[in-house]
């Protein structure tokens, strides 16, 4: 990736609805060059898709939490099964498989604290493979809207 590719990514992350013509204008390049660069970034898997940013409160998910989960027995079958079932739960926004003391981290979004409590008691605690879980309620979230490529380490050059 060069500076032009990085600039394309920054602009698209800020506004994925930019037309190719507007993107090219902001970059000071020909639309055909811009289109080919975007297509190349897509072919290489750098650009994986375009998404709308949604307000969780508008979807009745005003309370969010991170739930750390430990499963037992620790086996591929249990991990794969729990990962698949957790991803299908309507309250779960993201599932992360971890190494370390916890096996999973679930990003959960629900309407209120009562709904979070019900999710924990009625959905998670009843699963036989769950050995334990801890919940951290999210008060605020700040995201980096435009992550950039990190420089390569000297050893990898």
CATH 3.30.70.920 positions along the chain are 56-138
Nearest to 119 by CA among 133, 104, 129, 140: 133
Query: Is it the case that residue 36 has pLDDT exceeding 60?
Result: yes
CATH 1.10.10.10 positions along the chain are 3-43
pLDDT band at 90 (very low <50, low <70, confident <90, very high): very high
**Predicted confidence (pLDDT) per residue in 107-148, tens digit:** 999 999 999 999 999 999 999 999 999 999 999 998 877 777
Let me know if domain 56-138 sits in CATH 2.40.50.140: no
* Helix, strand, coil fractions of the chain, as percent rounded to 5: 40, 20, 40
66 and 136 Cβ atoms separated by less than 8 Å:
yes
Query: Is it the case that residue 19 has pLDDT exceeding 90?
Result: yes
Query: Could you tell me the fold of the domain covering 3-43?
Result: Arc Repressor Mutant, subunit A (1.10.10)
Residue 51, CA atoms < 13 Å, CB-side half-sphere: 8
């Amino acid at each position: 990736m060069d500076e032009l590719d990085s600039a394309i990514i920054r602009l698209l992350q800020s506004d994925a609805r930019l037309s190719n013509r507007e993107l090219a204008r902001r970059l000071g390049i020909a639309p055909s060059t811009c289109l080919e660069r975007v297509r190349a970034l897509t072919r290489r898997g750098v650009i994986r898709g375009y998404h709308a940013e949604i307000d969780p409160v508008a979807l009745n998910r005003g309370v969010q939490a991170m739930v750390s989960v430990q499963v037992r027995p620790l086996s591929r079958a249990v991990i794969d099964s729990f990962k698949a079932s957790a991803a299908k739960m309507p309250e779960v926004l993201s599932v992360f498989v971890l190494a370390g003391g916890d096996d999973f981290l679930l990003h959960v979004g629900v309407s209120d604290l009562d709904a979070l409590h019900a999710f924990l008691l009625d959905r998670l605690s009843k699963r036989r493979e769950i050995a334990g879980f801890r919940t951290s309620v999210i008060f605020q979230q700040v995201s980096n809207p435009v992550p950039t490529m990190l420089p390569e380490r000297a050893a990898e050059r």
